[in-house]
Structure 1
């Protein structure tokens, strides 16, 4: 018969394993997401772009509830147009969602040539597993009618990734480069999480370490990543804000993320 001391030790060990497993699952990378129906609009394609805006674990296909964003807009030719009032609530149903989560949609008609930088600032998201709030300043660039004029522009977000490689028209295998800024200044040795939008759920990582790739910027805040597969890729450079926010009367830290989404495409074989 097992003695009581052994049973207590066994119970404690099992509980620890459960807690470790739960913490590991809950500490997965979060990504703010803006996924347009296309990143290049030409004269032959439909000029209206549909944008899905959500908060999710993109590789694992799991979404989280997203409150109405504080701001959503587009920058074209140096001019910012706020589009927050055009957002429509919807339900994200990614492939591994047990149930849907609130997300947002928008439509935008591309009328003029040039680069269109869409951005979103969400409401702070409380993450119990990290005992902190999360705010991801997210953007994506859509090119209109072939005019390349501002894809490398900084648009004044609290933190953002400024592309050093054109963020559209990318082939699979291209090297994507960017620089991480907070308050308009480079962030030396910033840590960047990289994740693939496994939209159809048909990919499986060989190990948990493969789900979220992790890279570091250099001393100038510059990073690079060779994109290994066609599809949408998210880059999230994480920092801790100087402000805190209260949760149940206690000040909590705020993780701020500069997020950019890019799309890689396979070369077309003609014969």
Structure 2
């Protein structure tokens, strides 16, 4: 009888372990999306931005504490916008943020955010995604490839606005000012209308890898907002929330782009 129990219990443990570890870990993305990414002289000059931490394709929101920094870079001049943020609480009690900015100068506006570290217990690590998006104002194409100076950053090599669906995008990943070779770049569509259905899990998060110069390439197949998250590990660690252990830190360089369909 004891032998029979042992033979049954061991397979059950193995089966349970399989289902625990086979569950896919969803990609986390810091999001910064404006209501318009090209502002003409005839448009409303106010840009409304949403800042949230989420699984973009599946639209599963996570809690986002107030960022460490939030601002805009226009023609090499930074403006701190942290005090312009307004907290937004979901029906589940999760925090995200909103801000409005009135465009006054022509040129490319690079909005950026450094979030507070997010503790992910499922992966036993902290996540910090340094995130950008670029808005063109009044037709002056000046500064879209300029570095903000974030610790982790994607530098566009392709014009980051005025993109058709099907255009190729290239970016260069830098961390601490140096190109990162062999980094995984996760790509997800911001599926806010839930119009796109994935036939299987591998379709949700696409992955490309940087070359030895830190450059990656991706073709955006349809209209909408696309997020690129280049991931690397920080050399340092942080204490776990209970203060007992050291935990790894995932550094993400994130960039959001919009594509449109041709008429």
CA distance in 2, matches of 1:218, 1:10: 43
Give per-residue Cα distances to partners, 1:131-184, cap 9 Å, x unaligned.
Answer: 110000000000111111000001100010000001000000000011000111
Residues 205/100 of structure 1: CA separation in 2 closer, same or farther (3 Å cut): farther
Confirm or deny: 8 A CA contact 1:215 1:223 kept in the other structure.
yes
What is the deviation of 1:6?
Answer: 4.5
Secondary structure of 2:20's match? helix
Query: CA deviation digits over 1:235-267, x for unaligned, max 9?
Result: 000011122110132111110000000000001
Which residue, 167, 171, 176 being the options, matches 1:174? 167
Q: Write out the 4+ residue segments of structure 1 that deviate beyond 2 Å after TM superposition.
A: 3-7
Q: Measure the CA separation in 2 of the matches of 1:134 and 1:127.
A: 7
Matched, 1:238 2:236: no
- Residue correspondences, number: 260
For structure 1, the 5+ residue unaligned runs are 94-98
Q: Aligned match of 2:150 in 148, 157, 165? A: 157
TM-score normalised by the chain length of structure 2? 0.95
Aligned CA-pair RMSD? 1.6
Q: Is the 8 A contact 1:54 1:92 kept in 2?
A: no
Determine if contact 1:189/1:220 at 8 Å carries over to the other structure.
no
Query: Which segments of 5 or more consecutive residues in structure 2 lack a partner in the other structure?
Result: none
Map residues 7-156 of structure 1 onto 2, 5 A cutoff.
7-22=8-23, 24=24, 27-92=25-90, 99=92, 101-156=94-149
- In 1, Cα distance between the equivalents of 2:117 and 2:235? 14
Alignment equivalent of 1:251, drawn from 242, 246, 254 = 246
Q: Distance in 2 between matches of 1:19 and 1:5?
A: 21
Instruction: Give the drift of 1:28.
Output: 1.2
Contact 1:89/1:104, CA 8 A, preserved across alignment: yes
- Note the C-alpha offset of 1:32: 0.6
State the distance in 1 between where 2:75 and 2:31 align. 23
TM-score of the superposed pair, with normalisation by structure 1: 0.92
Per-residue displacement from partner, 1:23-61 (whole Å, max 9, x unpaired)? x2xx21100100100100111211000000001100011
